[in-house]
Amino acid sequence: MKVLLLEDDSALSDLLSFHLEDKGYEVELKTNGQDALEYLIDNRVDFALLDINTPGITGLEVLKTLREDYKDNTPIIVLTAYQDSKHLKESFENGVDDYIKKPFDLEELDQRIMKLCKIFLIEHNEEIILSENISFYPNSCELKINNKIKKLALKERDILRYFYCHKNRVISSEELLQNVWAYEEMPTDATIRVYIKNLRELLGKDRIKTIRAIGYKFE
């Protein structure tokens, strides 16, 4: 799994980077908010840890820009030394997924990351029941349909995982692009339609509804 860490305190960034790498994560370290934002726009990571008070632009500004301007829903945990409720409220209003106040134990961080991974099915291969006869196994890119295994392409898996994590909500084509593809590998509309068509053939055409001129809804 790949994580972006935005932290300008050298001692803390070294500690967190070492700890995360020791846990098996690939860490992309940034000490400047602008650098972190640019990286997240152009690259896909499994989740991000953002300190609030950083040079360039703040972690909150990175969060807000990703959510509002790029429709990017990369799972994000905010790290902050602020103890007031104002920053907590502002973080959640701008779409943060979790919030940790410094100082914190590494065990607490681990538990919050594990919770995030479970919610967003990151490295998750437990059986996910989609219907009475269909189960989804994200990590192995498989569906079990009527007890028969069907392999999924990586992007089909990523699309289905994103739909499942945001089920019963209309997802625009732009949001799907921002959260499944990296900037440099953006597909054509025809490519996306092929992936959606393949998933419909496996899941049933009524599971993924097309919302005209907007996007899709997974039910």
The pLDDT of residue 181 is 85
pLDDT at 124 over 70: no
Map out the domains of the chain with their CATH numbers: 2-119 (3.40.50.2300), 128-218 (1.10.10.10)
Rounded distance between C-alpha atoms, residue 108 and residue 79, angstroms: 12
Contacts of 186 (CB under 8 A, 6+ apart): 177
Q: What percent of the chain has pLDDT over 90?
A: 72
pLDDT at 70 over 80: yes
Q: Of all helices (H) and strands (E), which one includes residue 173?
A: helix 173-180
Contacts of 47 (CB under 8 A, 6+ apart): 1, 3, 4, 74, 75, 76, 77, 113, 116, 117, 120, 122
If pLDDT is split at 50, 70 and 90, which confidence band does 203 have?
Answer: very high
Residue 180: helix, strand or coil by DSSP? helix
Residue 152: helix, strand or coil by DSSP? coil
